[in-house]
Structure 1
Amino acid sequence: MKRTYLDHAATTQPLASVIDEVTEHLKYSGNASALHSAGRRARAVVEQARERIAQAVGCDSAEVIFTAGGTEADNLAIKGIYRKRTHINPQCRRILISSIEHHAVSESAEWLEAHEQAQLCWIPVDSHGLIDMKALKALIEEDPENTALITVMWANNEVGTIQPIREIAELSATYNIPFHTDAVQAFGAIPINFRQTGANSMAISGHKMGAPQGIGALIATRTTALTPVLHGGGQERAVRSGTLDTASIAGFGVAAQEVTQHLAEEMVRLGTLRNTLIERIRHEIPNATLRGAEPESIEELEQEGATRRLPHNVHFTFDGCEGDSLLFLLDMAGIESSTGSACNAGVPRPSHVLLAMGVDEEHARGAQRFTLGHTSTSEDIDALMEALPGAYEQAHKAGLAAHVPNEHIWH
């Protein structure tokens, strides 16, 4: 059976150039921290990749701290900033966090709440998943001196809504509060410029854009003080110890360079496919509701790029069926999709993102996310639409499973 892959937000196929680059560097040994010839060669590869990534994200190369992925980068930022701030001021324990964060951020903050007396303040969003700026300002003004950090993701991994990151960073800077943004979904999908936003730190990942899995980076200004989460050899500005994965880092650098060079045209290409799919689902399945921000028109994509919604993201809820049932029926038909975050796959509970957007639990359980990537074509859209109406009809007949209490639904 021909397979149609529509889960690029979870991970995407490595680029051919990346496979060549990684394979080439796997032929050589050498620790980038060593002083002999093999070590210096590895170091040169790492630093070239660091420069490429810095250019792609709009930062200085010294601000790129390599990690094992976006999850580690988020953990380092949230825990590292919090611990440094509380060390300076023991009363500085408030963390302002959006209610739609990826679990790498929300569970890091919740761990600090459970073990290190952090006080979490959840920032609400509207029905499209857009941050409420007035509510954020009000939360800050409750106690700005004792607010350790603010964290809001650049673009949501489930519904694709893009946040006003520069405005949030400006507001944070007004009160001298560090601001972290999880840009894992945004990097490689829309133009991002770390320096221009004014954020203090930003998490990115390689495998969302055609680099290997298991490599990412925390972008952090030189003045952003971080307490290390890992201890050891003192690599990466002494805040992230561990032997560097030279081959994967090289692949990450190639992917960052290649994707950003072609980003403008790829946004339009994927946005066109996205809009076509949204219109076809709306036309053929009236009981489907688009979640997240309204998509930009092709003209808007050509003139301004994606400003409201990630160009590759399509997220619907389907009335009267379980998202998992729909996913498995589509999978049987050769279509690979998702009910939301891959990190939360297989857990029978509605999305916290949809609940935060005001979607009731019954409708939230019918979620299905289709995400496009560099291998996606119009034939993939046709294949999905050939299978989706029948799969939905079957899933709707099966109905909703018995309610499972959800102890993890908060805010």
Structure 2
Amino acid sequence: MNSIYFDHAATTAMSPEALEAYIEAATAGPGNASSLHAHGRTAKERISLARDLFASLLQCEASEIIFTGSGTESDNSALYGAAYAQRKRGRNRIVTTAVEHHAVLNACRHLETQGFSLTVLPVDEYGRVELSDAMAAIDDTTAIVSVMAGNNETGTIQPIAEIGEWARKHKAVMHVDAVQAFGYLEINLKELPIDLLSLSAHKINGPQGVGLLYVRKGTPFQPTLYGGSQERNRRAGTENVPGIVAFAKAAELACGQLQRRRNHAEEVRGALLVKLQEELGPGQFVMNGHPDERLPHILNLSFAGISSESMLMNLDLAGVSASGGSACTSGSLKPSHVLSAMKISSERVSSAVRFSFGLGNTREEANKMAKITATISARLRNR
């Protein structure tokens, strides 16, 4: 049975080029970038080249790039690092949104137990923050504002530039989780009012276990890991040299082919929607998320009268990999916090399935998946 992988928002397969870069670095011999001998210098040079590449892609300085062990670590480091540094300046308020990834939301809630005041902004029915709500919440006591670029469950894009400008006016640090958006949206840190940015390698056909945190020069920030002097004393721990090298190669490909990636995802997404409409008929499913302000590779649909668990189980048996939401919480029976925050009906929340597209997906797969879904839908509804 040929499988169809429509869960690229959860993780992606390494591209051949990234895998080749990883193997080349991993088999080049032992190399700790903190060592002074030749092996260490070679490892350090590999990391420096990767850092320079990211600086070029993101339009920032190489010294502003910190490599981490994951997107979650990047989010946590940004929030804790800026919040604690800002508290020394008399700022103790944190502003975020109700639809953030749990790496941000749970970190913010932990900071709340440490004496910070937390404001969680509501979203509209499409999962988008109202700029007026953000402006009302951010003031001269705000330490950090954290708003994701594009949602990992619905694909909805947030007005990060406008919110960032308001945060900057009040001297609050602006953090953006761009884990899902990177490789699909242009990110120019020279132009965007962003102080901290989080990325993850395995969302763009790089390896798992590697992330990145951008820290704009002059941003209040203190490290959350203590040990050696790696990453300019901002993130202790021996660097994952092969992972960083492969991450850089994946990022180079993703940014270099950004429009092609967007077009490809839109093609597969569009084909799936058209075929589902043909196979299921009107009123059998509804889209969750913003129709226009969205990432191209994520499609969240609710199938009336069919639970997410039933649909996903049957899709899996038919060889289709999809998701009920964030991969970090899909094993939980709890309803999606993202969809719940959008104030849509409980039926839509409990019947939602996320399809996400990427490298290797085709229109033919979309058409086949639609037919499989129609068969499953008819069988489950007949019960």
- The TM tier, using the shorter chain, reads over 0.9
Query: Pick from 287, 312, 334: which aligns with 1:290?
Result: 287
Q: 1:251-290 to 2 correspondence within 5 Å?
A: 251-285=246-280, 286-290=283-287
Structure 1 residues 142-172: Cα deviation after superposition (integer angstroms, max 9, x where no partner): xx22211111000000000111211111111
CA distance in 2, matches of 1:177, 1:88: 11
Q: 1:304 corresponds to which residue? A: none
Q: 1:57-136 to 2 correspondence within 5 Å?
A: 57-89=58-90, 92-114=91-113, 116-136=114-134
Q: 2:7 corresponds to which residue? A: 7
Structure 1 position 266, deviation (Å):
1.9
CA distance in 2, matches of 1:244, 1:395: 50
Structure 1 position 30, deviation (Å):
1.2
Structure 1 position 125, deviation (Å):
1.2
CA contact under 8 A between 2:184 and 2:259: conserved in structure 1? no
2:288 maps to a residue whose letter is R
1:85 maps to a residue whose letter is Q
Q: 2:203 corresponds to which residue? A: 208
2:85 maps to a residue whose letter is K
Structure 1 position 284, deviation (Å):
3.2
Runs of 4+ displaced beyond 6 Å: none
Does the alignment pair 1:325 with 2:293?
no
Structure 1 position 283, deviation (Å):
4.0
1:346 maps to a residue whose letter is G
Q: 2:39 corresponds to which residue? A: 38
Q: 1:1-400 to 2 correspondence within 5 Å?
A: 1-27=1-27, 28-89=29-90, 92-114=91-113, 116-140=114-138, 144-285=139-280, 286-295=283-292, 308-396=293-381
CA contact under 8 A between 1:4 and 1:383: conserved in structure 2? no
CA distance in 2, matches of 1:74, 1:137: 22
CA contact under 8 A between 2:272 and 2:363: conserved in structure 1? no
Give me the CA root mean square deviation.
1.3
CA distance in 2, matches of 1:101, 1:2: 34
Structure 1 position 397, deviation (Å):
5.3
TM-score, normalised relative to structure 1: 0.90
CA distance in 2, matches of 1:215, 1:323: 31
Structure 1 residues 227-278: Cα deviation after superposition (integer angstroms, max 9, x where no partner): 2111100211212100001111000111111111111122112112212212
CA distance in 1, matches of 2:115, 2:245: 40
CA distance in 2, matches of 1:172, 1:13: 37
CA distance in 2, matches of 1:34, 1:244: 12
2:4 maps to a residue whose letter is T
2:62 maps to a residue whose letter is S
CA distance in 1, matches of 2:276, 2:301: 9
Structure 1 residues 58-93: Cα deviation after superposition (integer angstroms, max 9, x where no partner): 22111110001110000000111111111232xx22
Structure 1 position 119, deviation (Å):
1.4
Q: Percent of counterpart pairs with the same letter?
A: 36
- Cα distance change on mapping 1:228 and 1:395 into 2, 3 Å: farther
CA contact under 8 A between 2:155 and 2:295: conserved in structure 1? yes
CA distance in 2, matches of 1:243, 1:74: 19
Structure 1 residues 291-347: Cα deviation after superposition (integer angstroms, max 9, x where no partner): 11114xxxxxxxxxxxx2111111101122210111010000010000010000110
CA contact under 8 A between 1:322 and 1:395: conserved in structure 2? no
Structure 1 residues 352-399: Cα deviation after superposition (integer angstroms, max 9, x where no partner): 11111111223201110000001111121022112101222344456x
CA distance in 2, matches of 1:396, 1:139: 45
- Cα distance change on mapping 1:104 and 1:397 into 2, 3 Å: farther
CA distance in 1, matches of 2:77, 2:369: 39
Structure 1 position 137, deviation (Å):
0.9
2:24 maps to a residue whose letter is E
Structure 1 position 222, deviation (Å):
1.4
Aligned residues: 380
1:105 maps to a residue whose letter is V
2:48 maps to a residue whose letter is E
Structure 1 residues 114-155: Cα deviation after superposition (integer angstroms, max 9, x where no partner): 2x0121111111111111101111112xxx222111110000
CA contact under 8 A between 1:180 and 1:200: conserved in structure 2? yes
CA contact under 8 A between 1:349 and 1:365: conserved in structure 2? no
2:235 maps to a residue whose letter is R
1:23 maps to a residue whose letter is I
More deviation in 268-277 or 70-79? 268-277
More deviation in 389-398 or 102-111? 389-398
Structure 1 residues 37-57: Cα deviation after superposition (integer angstroms, max 9, x where no partner): 111100000011111122222
CA distance in 2, matches of 1:263, 1:382: 24
SS of the residue corresponding to residue 313 of structure 2 reads helix
CA distance in 2, matches of 1:231, 1:62: 19
